[in-house]
Amino acid sequence: MKNDFRQFDGLLRTIRQFFYSENFTEIYPRVLNSSVPLEPTVYPFSLNWDTTVGVEQLFLATSPERALKHALAGGVGNCYAIGKSFRTIEAPSDTHAPEFFMLEWYRKGAIWTDIMEDVEKLVTACCEGKTELDYQEKSIHCGLPWKRVSLIRLFREFAGCDLERLCDDSEMIRVCKSKGYKVDGASWEQLFNQIFLNEIEPKIGDDPVFLIDFPARISPLCALQEKNELFAQRFELYIGGMEIGNGNTESSDTATIRRVFERERTLRLEKNMEAPRIDGDFLNSLEAMKGTSYAGVGIGIERLAMILWNRKTIGEIVP
């Protein structure tokens, strides 16, 4: 047990040293928030704050993003946070817990490809010189550079369909019906995930890879690609066949993002689910960031530790 705490502390020291050398400012996110961004598929824990003047509803942070965007809007520049994050709804598993550490950072004047380079450098530093890792009887080759693989190619190769055409609702429904997936009452994102999780994710492989070309319609906080606005400037990092991080160039289109939040809030209220009020502070931060390009990423620290230390479940990462 003692060594587990020391090992985790060593990992956090390595992370902080990396950002210190890059001249980033560390931000310390609040755990309790009056609201949180209403991103689809991300659900917060809530609690009541009983005071002498009444009851106020608060929400546990789902990521450090809210605090970091506030800091960026205030002019702090390049910044990062290691924050406790909490998410409900999703069932516990070997790779998911309701409470976890998330590392998140943003660069000013950057785009998504700059952040992919950051990720390569940071994870390489955490590997402490190793270019090959043993993980669950797999040999992971983590020497640089890492591959960038398009979802357009993966959908064509492994699912036999055109991802660009699937961005149309009727085509997505038609394809999913032909594959035998559940379509009644399913959203476009749920249909996308049925194909991705069953036919794409198992074929990604074990070596580090950046998946790119995510549809814009499931990437509401991401800037659009200039050559094809059906797709977002977004990537996901996979190592050992497991998602480790999710990054992008930030969108500052606050009007569109507000509509996404309002639509999501309506859907949750219709289902009698917890629905935080629209996070005006978050939207104001995005508005203040207009005119400058920002890009960033969130990485699950326990998942990264699982890969580095060859642990089977997230629960084995003691802190």
Give me the helices (H) in 250-315, please. Answer: 254-270, 280-288, 301-309
pLDDT of residue 2: 60
Half-sphere exposure of 319 (CA within 13 A, CB side): 20
Residue 95 CB coordination number (10 Å) = 14
Over residues 121-136, the mean pLDDT reads 95
The three-class DSSP label of residue 180 is: coil
Alpha-carbon distance values, 287 to 61, 103, 191, 252, 319 (Å):
21, 24, 32, 6, 36
pLDDT in tens, 99-124: 999 999 999 999 999 999 999 999 99
pLDDT of residue 3: 73
pLDDT in tens, 240-280: 999 999 999 999 899 999 999 999 999 999 999 999 999 99
| Interatomic CA distance for residues 133 and 110, integer angstroms | 30
Q: Which two tokens stand for residue 216?
A: 């814009």
Alpha-carbon distance values, 259 to 39, 76, 111, 174, 283 (Å):
11, 28, 24, 27, 11
Contacts of 6 by beta carbon, 8 Å cutoff, 6+ apart: none
pLDDT in tens, 19-32: 999 999 999 999 99
Say which residue the tokens 């996404």 belong to: 260
Q: Angle at CA 16, nearest 5°, toward 15 and 17?
A: 90
Over residues 293-308, the mean pLDDT reads 98
Residue 203 CB coordination number (10 Å) = 11
pLDDT in tens, 163-216: 999 999 999 999 999 999 999 999 999 999 999 999 999 999 999 999 999 999
| Interatomic CA distance for residues 215 and 80, integer angstroms | 26
pLDDT category at 319 given cuts 50, 70, 90 is: confident
Closest-CA residue to 83 (of 63, 98, 99, 66): 63
Are 84 and 169 in contact by the 8 Å Cβ rule? The answer is no
pLDDT in tens, 69-101: 999 999 999 999 999 999 999 999 999 999 999
pLDDT of residue 54: 94
Over residues 36-47, the mean pLDDT reads 95
DSSP of 39-84, one letter per residue? -TT----EEEEEETTEEEEEEE-SSSHHHHHHHHHTT--SEEEEEE
Residue 307 DSSP class: H
pLDDT category at 1 given cuts 50, 70, 90 is: low
Contacts of 180 by beta carbon, 8 Å cutoff, 6+ apart: none
Residue 277 DSSP class: P
Q: What is the 3-state composition of the chain as percent helix, strand, coil, each rounded to the nearest 5?
A: 40, 25, 35
The three-class DSSP label of residue 236 is: strand
